[in-house]
Amino acid sequence: MMFRRGGRLRAAVGEFETAVRAQDGAAAERAFGGLHRAFGRAGDAELLEAGPRLAAFLGEVPPGPRAVTAVMIGACVERGADAVASAPAVFAGAREAFEAAEVFCERWAATGGGDLPGHEDDDLTEADVERVGYDAVVGWESLPQWEMACVAMLNAKAVRREAGGKRELRAVVERVRETSGEPFKCLAYALDVLDDEPLVVLDRKTGAGFVVRVSGIGDNFQLHTLLADALIGGGHLPGAAPSVQAAAMCRDQPGMSPTTGSFNLVGADGEWIWNEGNPSEIPLVDGVRIVVLDPPSYERSWPAGRFFPGMTGELVLERVLTGSEAAALLVQVAESVR
C-alpha cells in the first residue's frame, strides 16, 4: 500500500501526541523515532501543519526529547509554518531549560566548581548527574537546541513584536550567561533585535543629520553596511558606498559579499560603537538612539551579510534633518561627552 509523503508525517505527529498525552514513555519513545523518520521525508505543506501541532503539546513532551522536538518546530517555521502560533510554547520550554541550567551552574559551583562541561552527552558523566541532578543536567545539555529553536521563531518580525514570553526568557538567558560565562550570542542578539526603531544619524564632518528606521538588523556590521548604502549610496554623503550586492545581502538576499567600512560609528557618549555589537547597545538620548559618523580611523573590511540568515534586515531613510536641527544635536552630543 502506498502512502502520500505528507500522510506519514501527519500520522507520526498524531502517534507521538497520543503517546505523550497518555504519558506512555515506551510508546512515546517509539513514536518519536517514527516522527524523526517521517520528518526527514516531509514536504512543505505537511511541515506547515506539523509545526503548530507539535507546539500545542510541546510542554507535555518528556524533558529528554523536548528540545529536539522544539528544533523540529523551528524547522517547520523556517519552511513556512505559523511562527506566532508556535513561538509561545518554544519560548516557555526554553525558559524552563535555562532555569534548569541556572540550577546546574549554581550546584556545580557549590559542589567544588571547576570548568563547566560541554553540552554533549559525552561531556557529562553519571557522577555529574549525581552531583547536580538529572533535570539540571538535561537543561544544561539541551541549551544549544533551545537556542536554535528560539532563533528560528525570532526570525519572524511578527514573533519579535507580538509573541509573549520574550521578556522572561531574556532575563533567565542573561542570568545563565553571567553565571556560566557562555555567550549564547545568537539567542541574546535575536532577543535584542530592534524593530521599527528610529535612529538619529549625525555626520560630524559635513554637519548633516538623518532619521532612519531599522528592523531586523542582527549586528552592527549589518547596520554599518546598510547605513553606508542609504547615506552614501543614496547621494546624501560623500564616500565609497558598498556594492549593490553587499547591501542586498544585508537585507534579504542569501550569502555574503566583501565590503569595506565607510565610517567610524560613535555613540552620543563618545564611545565607539563596535561592529561586533548590536544596535540595541547604542546609547539612548532622550529615548532615541544617536549614531555619530566619523571618518574611519583605519581601513576595515568584512563579509557583508545578515547576522541571522533567516531574518530580513531593513533600514529606511525617513527624513533628512535641517541644518539647524543637526547642528543642535551635534552640540548636544559634544556637551554630553564633556
**CA 123/CA 315 separation, integer angstroms:** 43
Are residue 168 and residue 317 in the same domain, yes or no?
A: no
Are residue 172 and residue 304 in the same domain, yes or no?
A: no
**CA 328/CA 262 separation, integer angstroms:** 24
Q: What is the DSSP string of 95-134?
A: HHHHHHHHHHHHHHHHTT--SPP-SSGGG--HHHHHHH-H
Q: Collapsing DSSP states into helix, strand and coil, what is residue 316?
A: strand
Are residue 100 and residue 215 in the same domain, yes or no?
A: no
Q: What is the pLDDT of residue 336?
A: 67
Which of 141, 172, 191 is the last residue before a domain boundary?
191
Q: Which residues contact 7 (CB under 8 A, 6 or more apart)?
A: none
Residue owning grid cell 574611519:
296
Are residue 173 and residue 231 in the same domain, yes or no?
A: no
Q: What are residue 319's DSSP bridge partners?
A: 211
Which of 191, 217, 240 is the last residue before a domain boundary?
191
**CA 56/CA 70 separation, integer angstroms:** 11
Separation in Å, CA 200 to CA 221, 227, 289: 18, 11, 6
pTM value surpassing 0.85:
yes
Are residue 148 and residue 247 in the same domain, yes or no?
A: no
Give which of 67, 74, 63, 66 is closest to 39, Cα–Cα: 74
Are residue 94 and residue 146 in the same domain, yes or no?
A: yes
**CA 227/CA 302 separation, integer angstroms:** 15
pLDDT along the chain (338 residues), means of 10: 60 97 95 94 94 98 95 97 97 98 96 91 88 95 98 97 91 97 96 98 97 98 98 97 98 98 95 96 95 94 98 98 96 76
Are residue 100 and residue 185 in the same domain, yes or no?
A: yes
Are residue 142 and residue 207 in the same domain, yes or no?
A: no
Are residue 49 and residue 93 in the same domain, yes or no?
A: yes
Q: What is the pLDDT of residue 337?
A: 63
Are residue 187 and residue 202 in the same domain, yes or no?
A: no
Are residue 43 and residue 172 in the same domain, yes or no?
A: yes
Are residue 218 and residue 178 in the same domain, yes or no?
A: no
**CA 266/CA 203 separation, integer angstroms:** 10
Which of 191, 223, 248 is the last residue before a domain boundary?
191
Torsion on CA atoms 20, 24, 30, 32, rounded to nearest 10: 20
Q: 282 is in which domain, residue-wise?
A: 197-337
Q: Domain count of the chain? A: 2
Q: What is the pLDDT of residue 192?
A: 96
